[in-house]
């Protein structure tokens, strides 16, 4: 069996990017949850960060618009306890 087939596949580290208009600048409460912008789900932090940055830059003139990256893999497997700058 080739060595590539014997290697364990990398663990999928899902990340969700979403955003929307906040009620106020000092709150994380959205003005209208039905109007949230779900940018997408990404297999790693690097791709999620690129999507977040693109979405945030498109709305840079609106101070109430905020985008977030959610580490879905941490919610799915909270026991793993592994946290790094790239996840």
> Which DSSP helix (H) or strand (E) runs through 62?
none
Distance in angstroms (rounded) separating the CA atoms of residues 39 and 61: 18
Total of domains in the chain? 1
Q: Are 18 and 38 in contact (CB under 8 A)?
A: yes
CATH number at 51 reads 3.30.70.2400
For residue 31, is it within any domain? yes
Residue pair 18/68 in contact (Cβ under 8 Å)? The answer is: yes
Per-residue pLDDT, 13: 92
Res 11: pLDDT: 76
- Given this model, what pLDDT does residue 48 score? 98
Q: Give CA–CA dist 30/20, Å, rounded.
A: 7
- What pLDDT does 3 receive? 56
Position 78 scores a pLDDT of 72
Task: Give me the pLDDT at residue 14, please.
Answer: 95
**Residue ranges in the chain whose pLDDT is less than 50:** 1
Domain extent for 20: 3-76
């Amino acid at each position: 069996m080739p060595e590539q087939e014997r290697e364990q596949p990398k663990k999928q580290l899902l990340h969700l990017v979403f955003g929307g208009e906040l009620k106020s600048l000092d709150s994380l409460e959205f003005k209208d949850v039905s109007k949230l912008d779900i940018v997408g789900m990404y297999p790693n932090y690097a791709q999620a960060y690129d999507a977040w940055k693109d979405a945030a830059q498109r709305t840079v003139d609106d101070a109430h618009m905020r985008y977030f990256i959610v580490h879905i893999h941490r919610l799915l497997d909270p026991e793993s306890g592994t946290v790094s700058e790239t996840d």
